[in-house]
């Protein structure tokens, strides 16, 4: 009924565990799962919709953990979520109506660029870079959230890094605060993208559920790993994997 094949499902479960783990200790797990969904035969635009359920499952685990620890500024999140919603809705509508060949080429270049961002270690680049609030900067911040939301709705892969940049450079948040807020904001727009991709028949529910279980497990195990040490171990492997995936998407 779910239309699953054994080997692709097993590969996706393993990839989901790896992606969930990577998202917790370093970031960029969708740079693995999106190409993987395409490689096992899911049409590119449907792969883009399918992975959103796994993102939602992983987000539930992360948000619950942060909420229990009292780390989420819910009132602040409520003021930031609406521009993200606007952008994400527009991005998801565009993505769900793209031709598969066009989306595959686009995601190949995105994956290649994102691999460079992962290698750069954005957390270190942004560390300590906070800014004072002003009216002009606040406007720029909300515009940045709309743009990042649009990208999240469009492609998802690597969106966490863009949220970090917007929250720290334009919003004036510390890196620790930004890391928590990005999880909340991604969690907030993901149900909207699921709805849009679902209405356009761009979600393979069977593989989506397999991936969701894998990413939830990976996120759970990754939470026990020290972030600094974990990132140093995972980042070089992730860079190699995403660059190889980008080359495969673009040229083969």
Burial of 139 (0-12, 13-18, 19+ CB in 10 A): exposed
CA 204 to CA 194: how far, in whole Å? 11
Q: What is the pLDDT of residue 177?
A: 81
DSSP, residue by residue, 73-113: -HHHHHHHHHHHHHHHHHHHHHHHTS-HHHHHHHHHHHHHH
Tens digit of each residue's pLDDT (9 = 90 or more) over 29-70: 788 898 899 989 999 999 999 999 998 988 888 888 778 888
pLDDT of residue 126: 65
Of 3-7, 87-91, 246-250, minimum mean pLDDT range? 246-250
N-term to C-term CA, the chain: 32
For residues 92 and 110, give the distance between their C-alpha atoms in angstroms, rounded to a whole number: 16
pTM: 0.84
Given a contact cutoff of 8 angstroms between Cβ atoms, the answer to whether 186 and 59 are in contact is yes
**How far is residue 226's CA from residue 2's CA, in Å, rounded to a whole number?**
37
């Amino acid at each position: 009924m779910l239309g699953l094949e054994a080997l692709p499902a097993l590969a996706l479960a393993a990839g989901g565990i790896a992606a969930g783990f990577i998202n917790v200790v370093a970031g960029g797990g969708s740079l693995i799962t999106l190409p993987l969904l395409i490689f096992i035969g899911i049409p590119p635009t449907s792969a883009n919709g399918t992975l959103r359920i796994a993102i939602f499952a992983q987000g539930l685990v992360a948000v619950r953990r942060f909420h229990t620890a009292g780390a989420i500024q819910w009132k602040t999140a409520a003021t930031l979520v609406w521009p993200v919603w606007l952008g994400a809705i527009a991005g998801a509508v565009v993505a769900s109506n793209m031709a598969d060949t066009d989306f595959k080429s686009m995601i190949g270049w995105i994956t290649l660029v994102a691999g460079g961002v992962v290698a750069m270690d954005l957390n270190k680049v942004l560390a300590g870079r906070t800014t004072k609030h002003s009216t002009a900067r606040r406007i720029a911040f909300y515009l940045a959230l709309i743009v990042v939301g649009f990208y999240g709705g469009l492609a998802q892969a690597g969106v966490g890094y863009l949220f970090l940049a917007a929250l720290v450079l334009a919003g004036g948040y510390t890196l620790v605060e930004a890391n928590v807020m990005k999880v909340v904001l991604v969690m907030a727009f993901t149900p909207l993208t699921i709805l849009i991709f679902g209405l356009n028949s761009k979600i393979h529910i069977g593989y989506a559920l397999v991936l969701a279980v894998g990413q939830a497990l990976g996120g759970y195990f990754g939470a026990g790993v020290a972030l600094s040490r974990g990132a140093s171990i995972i980042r070089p492997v992730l860079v190699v994997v995403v660059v190889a995936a980008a080359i495969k998407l673009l040229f083969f």
